[in-house]
Structures are given as structure tokens and as C-alpha cells.
Amino acid sequence: QVQLVQSGGEVKKPGASVKVSCKTSGYIFTNYIMFWVRQAPGQGLEWIGTIDPSGGGTTYSQRLQARLTLTRDVSTSTAYMELTRLRSEDTAVYYCTSMLTFWGQGTLVTVSS
Amino acid sequence: EIVMTQTPISLSVTPGQPASISCKSSQSLRYSDGKTYLYWYLQKPGQPPRLLIYEVFNRFSGVPDRFSGSGSETDFTLKISRVETEDVGIYYCMQNAHLPPITFGQGTRLEIK
């Protein structure tokens, strides 16, 4: 069955960077677009970016594009989300979702001094 | 950016009774391929969103048939024919007809009376 397993929670200081992984299985990784969505505590869902695992092409939210990098490793069927120059307002659960259908369990990133 | 507006923000329903959630988009969600890219999700506390309905009215695999979606262009509705206790959570509509960005409604909280 399709599975997306994300890396564990992170606590970072303002100005630091974080990299979250999303390891997939159960389907052909390069066949389906991977989306990243985040959810601040008690808030709704916010799309932050998209990567095409086949060619590596990316699209980022305007709000984060200067600080966000999405990558993938086809050999391990894993997608990555890196966010730099972290701010307190980046505190959120970050989700990877394949085809907007199958979702990872989420990774809590806490930014606090 | 397409704005998605859900109503009501919350609803309280007696088990066995119907429930209905509205989602309106600021632009038509009909894409040039003729499909309408409107999705519905249910999110329970501490869990990622779960896909219920895709492309307006298609139930995803394993979704009970008490859930149904309808609508067109800018007005959409999710209906639950007979609410069960397991249906509690927050319901989100989402569009990916015009991206970037993908946008979500603000969510509708369903509770049981």
C-alpha cells in the first residue's frame, strides 16, 4: 500500500534551517507530483510548494520562495523540504502529500529561542 | 489567488441526522480539460487530512457512501446523509484548478450533539 513516512519533529532557533524528509513506498515515485502543505498550531492548511519527482521541477508559494527548497532523491523515493532563516511564524506541522491523495504523518517544526 | 470560503464555520449534528457544508470559490474551478478540481478532506485531531471527495463528486476509495459531493463552477457542497460519531473533525475544501497556489477553505468543524 502507499506510504509516506516523514522524519521526526525538530526544534530550531530563529535564523536556523530545517530539512524534513518524506520517504515513499508502494507506488512509482516519479509518476506523481509531490506537494508540501503546512499547518500552524490551531490553524488551517497552507500549500507551500510542489515538486515533480520525475524531472525535479518545482513551484513555490510566493510567501516562502526565497527561503524554501524542495528536492528529491529518486534512488530512495524520498522527497525533501528545506526551509531556511526560520522565524517563529514557521512553527507548524509540515506534511508531504502525493497527488494530494496520500499524506505523510506530518512533522512538527518548532521555532523558538 | 483563488479564495475558498466555507460555511458554516462549525456545526453540531445529532447522530443519524444529515449535515451539509458549503464551499464557494472566487473563480470557476472548471479547468480547460473540462474537469473541475475541487476536493474535500476530513482532518481529525493529530492526524493528516484524509481525502474524501475528488473532482467535486468522486468518492475516494474506502469512503462511506453517506458522503457525497456536488456543485459546479464556484459553488460546491459536501453532504453527509446520516452523521455518525466517527465523522467528527474539521472538513476542508481545496482547489487545484488554478495554481499556484493551491488554496484551501478555512475549515468547518463538525461536532456531535
Mean pLDDT of B72-98: 96
Percent of chain A residues topping a pLDDT of 70:
100
User: Is residue A102 scored above 90 in pLDDT?
Assistant: yes
Q: Which residue of A has its CA nearest to B59?
A: A101
Percent of chain B residues topping a pLDDT of 90:
96
Minimum distance, in Å, between the CA of residue B97 and any CA atom of chain A? 13
Mean pLDDT of A94-105: 97
Residue-wise pLDDT tens digits, A39-78: 999 999 999 999 999 999 999 999 999 999 999 999 999 9
User: Is residue B100 scored above 90 in pLDDT?
Assistant: no
**CB contacts < 8 Å between A and B, how many?**
48
Residue-wise pLDDT tens digits, B22-40: 999 999 999 999 999 999 9
- What pLDDT score was predicted for residue A38? 98
Q: Which residue of B has its CA nearest to A103?
A: B48
- What pLDDT score was predicted for residue B78? 98
Tell me the pLDDT band of B98, cut-offs 50, 70 and 90. Answer: confident
Q: With beta carbons less than 8 A apart as the criterion, state whether B26 and B113 touch.
A: no
- What pLDDT score was predicted for residue B99? 80
- What pLDDT score was predicted for residue B68? 98
Query: What would the grid cell of residue A5 be?
Result: 513516512
Query: What would the grid cell of residue A90 be?
Result: 514557521
Put simply, the answer to whether A101 touches B51 (Cβ < 8 Å) is: yes
Concatenated DSSP letters of A53-93: TTT--EEE-TTTTTTEEEEEEGGGTEEEEEE-S--GGG-EE
**Average confidence score pLDDT of chain B:** 96
Strands A92-98 and A102-103: antiparallel
Nearest to B104 by CA among B11, B29, B18: B29
- What pLDDT score was predicted for residue A63? 94
